[in-house]
A and B are shown apart, each in its own frame.
Chain A
């Protein structure tokens, strides 16, 4: 008689099941470990980003200027930070003494506080927004007309196509300050109301932008600049983790007025 063995088939089934279980368990353990290691790298990257931020602030506090910092290794071989680095990070617009009266908004000094005079920032366009029924007639930056005898409604975009006398793109050298009552000003076609709000958005040639609330509901704004720092864990071009912090620093009060994480990393 012929006996039918079932052990091999059963074994194969058991082994398949065992393999699935083992694979599942392996995957679970491996992914769990990878998740934990990734978390650790992310936490370390955030700490390093803070290092970049603090380093940038200390740099500014030393002389009112900032040098871009790249590939600063805080813990060899694989923990780096990058701080500032974009045009928008070097532009300081002081809204703390802005004057708004008659038809004019003036007394808002601007500064490129990059330590290197050769490091210019280039403004490709400016968007001016205001909240009352009037047109923008004139605008000056660095005592030069950007807009003259125009009649633009809000929001007004001033670029190379409609600027005065080819003034845009406008280049501002590093370590340069434009200050004075009317060195920068906006003038409108009608008298300014008491609760005026005006904002300026500067778009730079490197793709970064800076939006500044110049006057808010008739009140002056801050004299502050923004700072960005990215922490990277990894070596060479490979990165295991990147975290970026942005902060604003009020020059008048010497305080950090905002501190948040950003997904826009500095990747040189």
Chain B
């Protein structure tokens, strides 16, 4: 039978401590008792390694006292018990951390799959509820549930993905919810050339009111390739009571005559065509039957049916 060396050392240390603190007679008695005890121990425990302790020159001993030993045991006890409890908690946390991390990854995988499914896919049907064991080869089960989120329209589906430890559906690790709709991803509609309209090539400038007339309105066609044609005009104006438009003259040609009240659209006859890239030095002339105060809107309507912007004087 072996006994730890330090135990014997501590016993001797205890005896030695007693020597220092007791009267001489008592010390002698104790010394004898301890010697006897030691003798008994060496007989009882012949394998105890005592020799190094009594080796020559070993009187300068540095060793633990019994008090220190007891303190160590108490303190270690105080420290180790909570540490043990904590280590168990930590172990659980480490396991949970590993599980939750993996579960999060699996949810991402499943959501990516869900987002790539057609809205009408069977696995996205209303009421779908399926659990896959050992999802993607991992020791976790994954459950997908689908329900309409906007009944009765039923154009939006609620998808719930839950990950559990394998075989344990009572403790979900992750539960994520999203919606899917019947929309798709793709390129936009932009990119074609902006369409040119006749009205956009029409440049109107100048013009002023003089008595019964609007004079010196200059027209130009900025389109370098194509002619544009004015077919109608819509005009709104203010002036003396009963005022009406009497005549329209463009580049020396009378294109309208008769009577038109404010807000009316008149048809030009003949229509007036502006050649490509041409400015007309003979301006537009509008004659009214009474004194003109203002033209609140003049819109030229082109042969492609699109109007110009409003012009005012």
Contact = CB atoms under 8 A, between A and B. Distances in A.
Contact of A55 (B16, B94, B149, B160): B149
B283 interface: no
B104 A54 contact: no
Nearest to B111: A47
B251 to A, nearest CB: 18
B138 interface: no
Interface in A231-268: 248-250, 252-257, 259
B124 interface: no
Interface stretch (B49-57, B69-77, B263-271): B69-77
Closest 4 CB pairs of A and B: A101-B200, A255-B186, A252-B189, A222-B188
B183 interface: yes
Interface in A4-27: 4-8, 11, 15, 18, 22, 25-26
A252 B108 contact: no
B229 interface: no
B90 A253 contact: no
Interface stretch (A29-37, A84-92, A168-176): A29-37
Interface in B163-193: 174-181, 183-193
B307 A181 contact: yes
A33 B97 contact: yes
15 contacts: A3-B63, A3-B65, A5-B65, A11-B68, A32-B97, A50-B115, A100-B196, A102-B222, A102-B223, A106-B199, A107-B197, A253-B188, A255-B185, A257-B186, A257-B188
Interface of B: 13, 16, 20, 59, 61-65, 68-69, 71-72, 75-76, 79, 83, 86, 90, 93-94, 96-97, 100-101, 103-104, 107-108, 111, 115, 149-150, 153, 155-156, 158, 160, 174-181, 183-197, 199-203, 222-223, 306-310
A96 interface: yes
A5 B68 contact: yes
A106 B64 CA distance: 97
Contacts of A101: 194, 196-197, 200-201, 222-223
B86 A26 contact: yes
Contacts of B190: 95-96, 216, 219-222
A203 interface: no
Given A5-B63, A99-B196, A219-B191, 18 more contacts: A3-B63, A5-B64, A7-B68, A36-B104, A40-B103, A50-B178, A50-B179, A51-B178, A55-B156, A58-B150, A75-B175, A79-B177, A95-B190, A100-B196, A103-B222, A196-B194, A220-B192, A256-B184
Main SS class of interface, B: mixed
B185 A39 contact: no
Interface centre among B62, B178, B185 (most CB of A within 10 A): B178
Contact of B79 (A18, A74, A255): A18
- Secondary structure dominating the interface of A: mixed
A154 interface: no
B195 A97 contact: yes
Contacts of A181: 197, 199, 306-307
Contacts, number: 214
Nearest to B201: A102
Contact of B189 (A18, A29, A57, A253): A253
B183 A191 contact: no
A252 B189 CA distance: 6
A36 B193 contact: no
Contact of B180 (A54, A106, A215, A257): A54
Contacts of A30: 93
A250 B189 contact: yes
A249 B188 CA distance: 8
A209 interface: no
A92 to B, nearest CB: 13
Nearest to B187: A257
B306 A7 contact: no
A21 B103 CA distance: 29
Nearest to A56: B181
B104 A40 contact: yes
A54 B64 CA distance: 74
Contact of B203 (A26, A37, A102): A102
B177 A26 contact: no
A247 to B, nearest CB: 9
Contacts of B69: 7
Nearest to B102: A36
A121 interface: no
A133 B189 CA distance: 29
A102 B277 CA distance: 10
A6 to B, nearest CB: 6
A38 to B, nearest CB: 10
Given A8-B68, A102-B223, A3 B156 contact: no
A160 to B, nearest CB: 23
Contact of B186 (A25, A216, A253): A253
B183 A254 contact: yes
Given A3-B65, A75-B175, A222-B189, A54 B183 contact: yes
Contacts of A40: 100, 103-104, 174
- Interface-centre pick from A58, A218, A253 (highest chain B CB count, 10 A): A58
